Chains A and B, each alone.
Chain A
Amino acid sequence: MSWLLSPGASTYARDIDAIYYLILVITGLAFVIVEVGLIWFLFAYRSRPGRKARYTHGNNTAEVIWTAIPAVVVVMIGIMSGSVWTHIKGHDSVPADAIPIGMEARQFEWHVTYPGADGELGTDDDFTVRNQLHIPVGRPVVLHLVADDVIHSFFVPAFRVKQDAVPGMSIPVWFEATTPGQYEIACAELCGLGHYRMRGMVTVHEPEAYEQWVREASTTVAAAR
């Protein structure tokens, strides 16, 4: 029953978490004020014999105050959110040095295509593995997310990344891992009968270990061809 988020493992996780905690504090405050006020009124103004309620139809000053304050607060939240959003998902947000990786979602698995030695997708040395995403720590990667059959959604809770994969669209999704380790990939959009087990794994390596993994994996896949 925690309102704290689990530790983030990507660069922008802390930006998202900061906005989350800001909203948590603001809405928490509003929640307490309103609920305490409600309970207080219900107690203080409970019916008692011989009393008559105050006859009033309202108060314009009060209306202006409780219209203006929420308006200012939500627009402020909106503006702060907007800049983080643009940084993460905006059109030009993908860092130039991001490693391109192909990510194809299909019922009910993730097909990950690596660029191979030349660092470019769509060339002969590309290789594909199932449900295993390997990335280096401290360097951005960009997934070119596509779907083969129905809509899926690529979700790595630890990275605070989620993006639907839509048939007929290729959507760039970038992130930069900050902590080596293994993290689960989940499908977040109902995609059919096996939706609940459409699970993958991200392994975040130290840079040298990543290079080594790419070499080994490309030879293994080439040998299997």
Chain B
Amino acid sequence: MTTPRAGTAAPHVGDLHPHDAVHDHEPSFLRKYIFATDHKIIGIQFLIMSLAFLLVGGALAMMIRWQLGYPGQAMPGGTVLPETMAPGGVIAPEFYNSLVTMHGTFMVFFAIMPLLVGVFGNYLIPLKIGAPDMAFPRLNMASFWIAVPAGIIMIFGFFAEGGHAGAGWTAYAPLSASPEHSGVSLGQQLWCVSLIVLGLSSILGATNYITTIINMRAPGMTWFRLPLSIWALFVTAVLVLLAIPILSGAVIMLLFDQTIGTHFFLRAGEPLLWQHLFWYFGHPEVYILILPAFGMVSDIIANGSRKPIFGYNSMVFAILAIAFLGWIVWGHHMFQSGMNPTLGTSFMISTMLIAVPSAIKVFNWLGTLWQGNIRFTVPMLHACAFVSMFVIGGLSGVFMASTPVDIFIHDTYFIVAHLHYVLFGGSLFAIFAGITYWYPKMFGRMMSRRWGLIHFWLTFVAYNLVFFPMHNLGLGGHMRRIYDPNQYEFLQPLQGLNEMISISAFVLFTAQLIFAANFILSWFKGEKAPMNPWEDNSLEWTVPSPPPHGNFAATPVVYRGPYEYSSPEVEQDFLPQTLRLPTDRPPAAASAGD
């Protein structure tokens, strides 16, 4: 049985008069929408916050692309920036370093991670497992309201004397630790403080997810009846709980190096220690940024194909294998760092092995599509784009996993291409799939399909025009994070390609404004959403759109897995998890909750 928790403001499921209970406890506006404890509201709060940061991160990328496409030319509108950033509208080198640093920081920590974990973790977990809310709703509220000041602190860094952090989102020491070499002190310190605060938010969230999934599954919702999105979020939460404290510890040490004169990462200490700590966090972080995407895409592809997911058990074990391997591959970021070369060989082998569970996932998605009856909804298009783009990101990873090839392509645009194929082509397409899929549930309205299609195709084409040629830039030797490639003779022939990429990037950014408009306008003007617009089997589609406070009028009982599409047992091509067929026996009451 689901156990109502102390401190839960939600009416207990199974109450005799749930509706009365809702009215009795109708919270004030402030309690309902601002300091909310309802997981759905918190999910939507995270959604709005992280989409705003996605826009900020994108705007920073546009400035980077301006400088690379048109080095040294005044940026249109650039004169509104202070003289310290862009004198005469021309981006200054130190500001360029802050741009690349903050683009990465905002995208990884304040956009993609909260979108995947904060939004979908919060919104989907209780609904999909049949729980009234999270195990610890107040911790959940705290998790959001800790993330907000972290973001504000990070933005403040732009206005700090000496400029914002400029040592890259990876903040390699000693550059990040010694203001006399970077020229940045306060900006880098704010960067540290913000990430320490944000880490607290992530830890609270992860604790909540793990507890909720273990303890609050509805009767009959066994582990192997969980949707893959929930499996992925569960494993992700475990990774967050284990990885974030490592980052926090390292960042605190970095802050001490700057402020109280310690020498953890300075010359007298051990500069490589920072890289080991950062990537020991950072590689699991990479999987934190992709596993929830795997899960959501699996749900959406099964639904769009009208077929059970192919190889459910393999998909679960692949998630677990990736999560495990993620802890023993961090050294592949450090092949050229001066780390013992023999270690390089062992990290290469463990890294290569990650191709195996990744391939299992891709082939099982293809297996799901095979002989399906595919509906091309907007979320389904994004999910298919995810698969095709993730394949490119996965395959390009083999190049840099190979230690000798990495000698050449390390720290070049080949890496930039690779990471964007995984983080944009992978994670962000999955996020678009997820938002367009669950938007009707979240807001009770449908997004416009026409504008959804326009956004999808523009994004898909422009995205590939931006990032695919970056492989070729990298093969031409183009280094990352350089302000003006024309300083080098061997890079000058690549300038035309750089300009083409920049123009495509401007189109890509503009296309996202279409998504923003569709998102906002549909909220007010969209067609009213039915309870189950995609004819999905999962529990969240058995409650109204949007679901009421407390989610379920009565605790749902689960009879099967979430992927019973086109089952011969029923006429329609979907079979909800809660639908009791004459052959189904109710689960033993206490089987799932304990």
Contact = CB atoms under 8 A, between A and B. Distances in A.
Contacts of A158: 490
Nearest to A2: B472
User: Contact residue range for chain B?
Assistant: 35 or more
A90 B472 CA distance: 29
B402 A78 contact: yes
Most buried by B among A16, A24, A37: A16
Contacts, number: 289
Given A149-B174, A192-B181, A81 B402 contact: yes
A164 B384 contact: no
B342 A197 contact: no
Contact of B411 (A41, A75, A162): A162
A55 B307 contact: yes
A1 B337 CA distance: 29
A53 B411 contact: no
Nearest to B569: A55
Contacts of A171: 338
A149 B271 CA distance: 11
A150 B182 CA distance: 9
Interface in B388-429: 388, 391-392, 395-396, 398-399, 401-405, 407-408, 410-412
A85 B352 contact: no
A161 B374 CA distance: 49
A57 B308 contact: yes
B512 interface: no
A166 B337 contact: yes
B184 to A, nearest CB: 9
B348 A85 contact: yes
B371 interface: yes
B367 A59 contact: yes
Given A23-B399, A37-B366, A164-B336, A66 B360 contact: yes
Interface of B: 93-94, 97, 100, 166-168, 172, 174-175, 178, 181-183, 266-268, 270-272, 305-314, 336-338, 341-342, 344-345, 348-349, 352-353, 355-356, 359-360, 362-364, 366-367, 369-376, 384, 387-388, 391-392, 395-396, 398-399, 401-405, 407-408, 410-412, 469, 471-472, 475-477, 479-485, 487-490, 497, 563, 565-568, 573
Interface of A: 1-6, 15-16, 19-20, 23-24, 26-27, 30-31, 34-35, 37-38, 41-42, 45-48, 51-59, 62-63, 66-67, 70-71, 74-75, 77-78, 81-82, 84-86, 88-91, 107, 149-151, 153, 155, 157-158, 160-169, 171, 184, 186-197, 199
19 contacts: A2-B475, A6-B477, A38-B384, A41-B374, A42-B384, A45-B369, A45-B373, A51-B373, A54-B370, A63-B314, A74-B401, A78-B349, A162-B336, A163-B338, A168-B270, A188-B411, A190-B481, A192-B97, A192-B166
Given A38-B366, A184-B488, 5 more contacts: A3-B472, A62-B363, A81-B404, A85-B403, A186-B479
